[in-house]
Structure 1
Amino acid sequence: MVTTSSRQHRTSPKSVPGLDLVRLQAYLMRHRIVLNPSAAPEKFAAGYGNMNFLLQTEGGPLVLRRPPPGPVPPGANDMAREYRILSSLHPVMPLVPKAALFCDDLSVVGAPFLVMEYRPGLVIGETIPSDTVKSWRAVEQIGTALGRRIIHVLSDLHAVDAEACGLGTLGRPDGFVERTQRGWSKRARLAWDNAPEDLTALLDWLEAHAPETSRAPTLIHNDFKLDNIILDPDTLEPRTLIDWDMGTLGDPLYDLAVLLSYWTEAGDPDAMHQLRQMPTACHGFPTREEAATLYAKASGRRLTDFTYFRVLATLRLAVVFQQLYRRYESGGTDDPDFARFDDLSRGLLSFGLQVARGDFY
């Protein structure tokens, strides 16, 4: 969901945490996938969620994807759901990678996993590589191009006919908004022992401003952001859209709001800059409001009740970082970067209230 580094940087192939290579090799051979014995799987460096490994096989490189070690929250890191989405969506939206295999036998690697095609490319997280920026200076501002491309990918996704591609029964679209608000409100109360005043105020605001009407559901990614789009390193055209384990049918404006919850602007409060997720505060990226307007034009949708969705998505992000902090506090990780997430999550609660008041888009 949130990331710290590019997926294209990988650890040494000598270290493969999360895989039992003997059992994996035997299982894959039964499905006519033969690992190259001279090249051990390489773990992609990623964020705090699913684990991804590059497999070298006789038929070419593939990616194995599995949940992180330890307990998995209900509904999260769902490999079966992701495999279904990839299998159904790839034929009608080629930007989605092709799935090759799904395994729910826990004896193989200790968790369900899927195998899918590998598409190399550039992944942009917190920063844009300096050589990429330099190569674009004479053409146009890199952020202008990337901002438009991100929005058009999202709009194209929301235009997919879910029923026609076999995903019409995915999730529970009826009551999606109410259920999403209720779910994140419950997680928020569990994430803090003593609810901060800003959290109480934010939850009260959401209760008072819940939309009275619903729009037609679409396929939504549910964690759509720049580093889930692998780009051509030279042209910056999207090559693939990844991380589908939370995909569902729901309100498309929630998908847009989740994207904009990561979208930092230069004049934002410190908490938004401490997210370190997307480089949108510079390089000529459109503002959040401009990005939303681009989406409205591309999709033909009215942004009714959009402030509500912005606040809900900001609450979601605050809760995620507080959950990560609690994991650090309880000894579940020794990553020192997690120590700052308590302040960050509280800062996001405060920012959510500022969005609710109209101080920020």
Structure 2
Amino acid sequence: MAEAMEVVPEFGDVRDEEQLDWGKLAAYLRGKIPGADAPMTVKQFRGGSSNLTYLLRFDDREWVMRRPPFGPLPVGGHDMGREYKVLSRLWEVFKPAPRGMLYSDDASIVGAPFFVMERRNGIVIKNREPLPVELGNDPATFRAISEGFIDTLADLHAVDYAAIGLGSLGKPDGFLKRQVTGWMGRWEKAKTREVPLMEKLGAWFLDNIPASPPPVLVHNDFYLHNIMLGAFNHGDVVGVFDWEMSTIGDPLVDLGIAIGYWRDKSDPPELVMTSYGEAHTLRRGFMTRDELVHRYASRTGRDVSGIPFYWAWAHWKTATVVEQIYVRYVRGQTTDPRFALMGPMAPALAFAAAQVASRLGFKE
């Protein structure tokens, strides 16, 4: 098994290639968010692999600022305006959502649109890193984390999105078809080598799109490493992050993504290897995928019999997501050493997607 990646601190000094005009940002924020009249210091969060996320400190006040990564960006991705719109409203009815405080599309300030949100404090399980030591190794803790994780997704899908002014966030009609065709296009733009299985799967998904249940507010990237756990009650989800792809659509897309990132002991070795020795959910106490799906169904009352389609689609989509990250490293747009290890992931995820889709008749 590949060696696990080194433990990365929550934040540190800003990488040289990801420095911004901090003086201009400080001047812009002055008088717009609480505390911003004090001198500003900046650190950079290390956990994410997509948008650039910075910790802004003004004496005893802390805020989080997010902007897209440098270099060419996929159409529709890294949408700071969308993320801000959701977080400026969702926090009122969904407690794990941090409050969005300010948004600007003036690229002259930090080189791209950006927004500022409140900082949440707790424990984050980082992808491909050892479990935080604060969590211990008690199976009961891991069971509580699993329950809190899937219950939070169910609670999100119960939000009356129209009542908080998010009814125009997406177009539910044809949502799944647009997801498939959109990610097919993104794969073509990002791929660093040919993976014929990706094109074959995309065509199969288009031919086998199921009927969707009534639409909900979809996070569109809901998985264990995008949530924050309570520092004392580890089963309490105190933060859900990375909302830039959220929309109104099929709730089973979120469930498929959630279980697609989850690892089970029955997974093919190639899929487990993508965790680089840190497949957290293989530890005793974490729920299995089947248990997650059953609990979600019980809590929401939704029919989940068609979940293999969404699960396979999630693996296929994730193959493109990691390729989009990897190609930034290949092009020299980032020096983050984590991204250098992502080369083998897209083929492994395509293979996993094909195995799940074969349950529904897909043939390689």
Structure 2 equivalent of residue 223 of structure 1: 221
Secondary structure of the residue that 1:64 maps to in structure 2?
Answer: strand
Structure 2 equivalent of residue 128 of structure 1: 131
CA contact 2:26–2:40 (8 Å) conserved in 1: no
Deviation at 1:12, TM superposition (A): 2.9
Structure 1 equivalent of residue 183 of structure 2: 184
TM-score, with normalisation over the residues of structure 2?
Answer: 0.88
Q: Quick one: structure 1 residues 319 and 202, their matched pair in 2 at CA, closer, same or farther if it must change by over 3 Å?
A: same
Q: Quick one: structure 1 residues 240 and 278, their matched pair in 2 at CA, closer, same or farther if it must change by over 3 Å?
A: farther
Instruction: Supply the distance in 2 between the matched residues of 1:273 and 1:131 (Cα, whole angstroms).
Output: 24
Letter in 2 for 1:9: E
Q: Quick one: structure 1 residues 288 and 301, their matched pair in 2 at CA, closer, same or farther if it must change by over 3 Å?
A: same
Q: Quick one: structure 1 residues 80 and 302, their matched pair in 2 at CA, closer, same or farther if it must change by over 3 Å?
A: same
Q: Map of 1:1-361 to 2, 5 A cutoff?
A: 9-12=10-13, 17-31=18-32, 33-35=34-36, 40-57=41-58, 60-125=61-126, 126=128, 127-134=130-137, 137=138, 140-192=139-191, 195-211=194-210, 213-236=211-234, 237-276=236-275, 279-358=280-359
Instruction: Supply the distance in 2 between the matched residues of 1:298 and 1:282 (Cα, whole angstroms).
Output: 24
Letter in 1 for 2:117: M
Instruction: Supply the distance in 2 between the matched residues of 1:87 and 1:196 (Cα, whole angstroms).
Output: 40
Instruction: Supply the distance in 2 between the matched residues of 1:315 and 1:13 (Cα, whole angstroms).
Output: 33
CA contact 2:260–2:315 (8 Å) conserved in 1: yes
Q: CA RMSD in A?
A: 2.6
Aligned residues: 351
Instruction: Supply the distance in 2 between the matched residues of 1:23 and 1:330 (Cα, whole angstroms).
Output: 29
Q: Quick one: structure 1 residues 42 and 15, their matched pair in 2 at CA, closer, same or farther if it must change by over 3 Å?
A: farther
CA contact 2:220–2:257 (8 Å) conserved in 1: yes
Percent identity over the alignment?
36
TM-score, with normalisation over the residues of structure 1?
Answer: 0.89
CA contact 1:307–1:356 (8 Å) conserved in 2: yes
Q: Quick one: structure 1 residues 313 and 294, their matched pair in 2 at CA, closer, same or farther if it must change by over 3 Å?
A: same
Instruction: Supply the distance in 1 between the matched residues of 2:238 and 2:105 (Cα, whole angstroms).
Output: 28
CA contact 1:88–1:166 (8 Å) conserved in 2: yes
Q: Quick one: structure 1 residues 13 and 51, their matched pair in 2 at CA, closer, same or farther if it must change by over 3 Å?
A: closer
CA contact 1:66–1:79 (8 Å) conserved in 2: yes
Q: Quick one: structure 1 residues 34 and 129, their matched pair in 2 at CA, closer, same or farther if it must change by over 3 Å?
A: closer
113-122 vs 197-206, which deviates more? 197-206
CA contact 2:219–2:243 (8 Å) conserved in 1: yes
Deviation at 1:36, TM superposition (A): 7.3
263-272 vs 22-31, which deviates more? 263-272
Q: Quick one: structure 1 residues 5 and 340, their matched pair in 2 at CA, closer, same or farther if it must change by over 3 Å?
A: closer
CA contact 2:216–2:248 (8 Å) conserved in 1: yes
Secondary structure of the residue that 2:258 maps to in structure 1?
Answer: helix
Secondary structure of the residue that 1:54 maps to in structure 2?
Answer: strand
Q: Quick one: structure 1 residues 309 and 55, their matched pair in 2 at CA, closer, same or farther if it must change by over 3 Å?
A: same
Instruction: Supply the distance in 2 between the matched residues of 1:106 and 1:6 (Cα, whole angstroms).
Output: 33
Secondary structure of the residue that 1:122 maps to in structure 2?
Answer: coil
Letter in 2 for 1:27: Y
CA contact 2:263–2:272 (8 Å) conserved in 1: yes
CA contact 2:216–2:250 (8 Å) conserved in 1: yes
Q: Quick one: structure 1 residues 20 and 200, their matched pair in 2 at CA, closer, same or farther if it must change by over 3 Å?
A: closer
Deviation at 1:315, TM superposition (A): 0.7
CA contact 2:74–2:186 (8 Å) conserved in 1: no
Deviation at 1:336, TM superposition (A): 4.7
List structure 1 runs of 4+ shifted beyond 6 angstroms.
4-8, 13-16
Secondary structure of the residue that 1:264 maps to in structure 2?
Answer: coil
Deviation at 1:115, TM superposition (A): 1.1
Q: Quick one: structure 1 residues 227 and 14, their matched pair in 2 at CA, closer, same or farther if it must change by over 3 Å?
A: closer
Deviation at 1:151, TM superposition (A): 0.4
Cα deviation code 1:155-214 (max 9, x no counterpart): 000000111111011122211011111111222344447643422432343233221x23
Letter in 2 for 1:143: F
CA contact 2:268–2:352 (8 Å) conserved in 1: yes
Q: Quick one: structure 1 residues 350 and 155, their matched pair in 2 at CA, closer, same or farther if it must change by over 3 Å?
A: same
CA contact 1:6–1:45 (8 Å) conserved in 2: no
User: Unpaired segments of 5 or more residues in structure 2?
Assistant: none
CA contact 1:266–1:282 (8 Å) conserved in 2: no
